[in-house]
Amino acid sequence: MPILVMKFGGTSVATIDRIQRAAKRVSLEVAKGYDVIVIVSAMAGKTNELVGWVGETSPLYDAREYDAVVSSGENVTAGLMALRLQEMDVPARSWQGWQVPVKTTSAHGSARIEAIPTDNILKKFAEGMRVAVVAGFQGVSPEGRITTLGRGGSDTTAVAFAAAFDAERCDIYTDVDGVYTTDPRLCEKARKLDRIAFEEMLELASLGAKVLQTRSVELAMRYKVKLRVLSSFEEPSDAAGTLVCDEEDIVESNVISGIAHSRDEAKMTLISVADRPGIAAAIFGPLAEAGVNVDMIVQNISEDGRTDMTFSCPTDQVLRAQTALEAARDAGHINFHDLDCDNGVAKVSAVGIGMRSHAGVAAKMFKVLAEERINIKVITTSEIKISVLIDRKYMELAVQALHDAFGLDKAA
């Protein structure tokens, strides 16, 4: 029988009543003839509570015990979902990560899935089980200890199961009805997309559209897993949600598919550093070691052998960046006159595979921002994305103006 993977996020299993509604959806797919692998998150808020308890008990906690505690939320929902399905006469069984086993690396707190042997679950399907309810977000390390995959990791569990079992589709049930052209809270004209390409979704996910864990989209792209994002609060329908799929499965699309934003950015500039070979390595090496996620980088023009180096990073990493750079200066590895820090910037990005074949997208974006008198501080581009750093107070205006200018409120 064909296999379907259905993943229910925290809000979709937040109460016994909602678990019941989710189980109903599962039973509908079983009735259509699918064997179903259900991946569940912990009840909404549970994982945060568990993380809090760990911190209260042990501020510098042992990551193995963190995983032992934090993975437990999913165990509860997996068992309850299986029970509910059994109540509906659907043959169902729950599985914790180690029972499958979901084999991961031993990077506790952010482990990666290395293999999912399918024989145990397939054997049960062959014996008449119709639903395997698997606890998301967790696995087992080569040492035999429980691991977790990083926050939001049950999306990745779902896609990895879909790839391993060659599922027909992977449906991700959440509290929004799909992927939007931009954040509906910022722009009321935001429109739900019927389809979006893996690469675009990857850019949007990493740019802060929090619908899917970035890693899950990477996996889906690599294994060509058809991924559908849909709401568990709407009536079931085949056309519901957004399909994240291969570029070739998208017939028509706008040049730009979405406008993403990221609010809490900081721009840091090292003023007057020596312009010599190795200087970028001397600056960004220590930042990487300190765990600073540097995003955009600009080296300004050089004068008399000295230059300014600008980069952006999340605001909550500014202190760490400052400390690392000052330590590098004190150690004599770099030399700068001043470190300028602007904590009030935001990043706005236009994303679309259509950019590959259309010239003038960047020019249009800059013109729109100019007309709104928004000053651009830093620009970066990739093949399918243009990002600008602007004053945070203009972020909403920029998103709305770009959404209008690229006609995103209308389908192609």
Which residues lie near Mg ion (CB under 5 A)?
9, 152
Residue 192 interacts with which of ligand ASP, Mg ion, none, CB < 5 to 8 Å by class: none
Nearer to Mg ion, 216 or 317 (CB): 216
Tokens at 259, concatenated: 């406008």
Among residues 9 and 139, whose Cβ is nearest to ligand ASP? 9
What does 258 bind: ligand ASP, Mg ion, none (CB cut-off 5 to 8 Å by kind)?
Answer: none
Burial 300-330 (b: 16+ CB within 10 A, else e): eeeeeebbbbbbbbbbebbeebeebbeebbe
**Rounded least distance, CB 176 to ligand ASP, Å:** 15
The letter for the amino acid at 41 is: S
Residue 262 identity: S
Sheet holding 3-8, edge to edge: 92-95, 131-135, 35-40, 3-8, 169-174, 227-231, 242-245, 195-197
Rounded Cα–Cα distance for residues 169 and 289 (Å): 39
State in angstroms the smallest separation of the CB of 102 from Mg ion. Answer: 17
- What is the C-alpha separation between 243 and 169, in angstroms, rounded? 10
Closest to 409 in 3D by CA, of 262, 254, 261? 254
CA separation for the pair 346, 150 (Å, rounded): 25
- Judged by beta carbon distances under 5 to 8 A according to partner kind, the member of Mg ion, ligand ASP, none in contact with residue 137 is ligand ASP
Enumerate binding residues for ligand ASP (CB under 6 A): 9-10, 41-42, 47, 73, 136-137, 151-155
Kindly state the smallest distance separating residue 198's Cβ from ligand ASP, in Å.
19
Contact 168, 2 (CB under 8 A): yes
* Shortest distance (Å) from residue 63 CB to ligand ASP: 15
Smallest distance from Mg ion to CB 155, Å: 6
**307 binds, options Mg ion, ligand ASP, none, Cβ within 5 to 8 A by partner type:** none
DSSP output for 10-33: GGGGSSHHHHHHHHHHHHHHHHTT
354 binds, among ligand ASP, Mg ion, none (CB under 5 to 8 A by kind): none
Q: 9 vs 241, which CB is nearer to Mg ion?
A: 9
Contact of residue 406 among ligand ASP, Mg ion, none (CB under 5-8 Å per partner type): none
Nearer to Mg ion, 218 or 372 (CB): 218
Q: In the bound complex, what is the minimum distance in angstroms from residue 78's beta carbon to ligand ASP?
A: 12
Q: Which residues pair with 139 in a beta bridge?
A: 147
- CA 146, CA 126: separation in Å to the nearest integer? 28
Tell the smallest beta-carbon distance from residue 263 to ligand ASP (Å).
20
Q: Is 99 exposed, middle or buried (0-12, 13-18, 19+ CB in 10 A)?
A: middle
138 binds, among ligand ASP, Mg ion, none (CB under 5 to 8 A by kind): none
Nearer to Mg ion, 9 or 354 (CB): 9
Maximum separation of any 2 CA atoms in the chain, in Å: 79
Nearer of residues 124 and 151 to Mg ion, judged by Cβ: 151
Q: Tell me how far, at minimum, the Cβ of 391 lies from Mg ion, in Å.
A: 30
Nearer to Mg ion, 152 or 352 (CB): 152
Q: Which is nearer to Mg ion, 116 or 229 (CB)?
A: 229
Query: What backbone torsions phi and psi does residue 175 show, to the nearest 5 degrees?
Result: -100, 5
For residues 46 and 78, is the Cβ–Cβ distance under 8 A?
no
Structure-token pair, residue 253 = 């699309």
Among ligand ASP, Mg ion, none, partner that 42 touches (CB below 5 to 8 angstroms by kind): ligand ASP
Quote the least distance from Cβ 50 to ligand ASP, whole Å: 9
Which partner from the list Mg ion, ligand ASP, none does 153 bind, CB cut-off 5 to 8 Å by kind? ligand ASP
Q: Which residues contact 24 (CB under 8 A, 6 or more apart)?
A: 88
Closer by beta carbon to ligand ASP, 9 or else 354 = 9
Q: Name which of ligand ASP, Mg ion, none residue 112 binds, using a CB cut-off of 5 to 8 Å depending on partner kind.
A: none
CB 331, min distance to ligand ASP, A:
38
Of 136 and 241, the one with the shorter C-beta distance to ligand ASP is 136
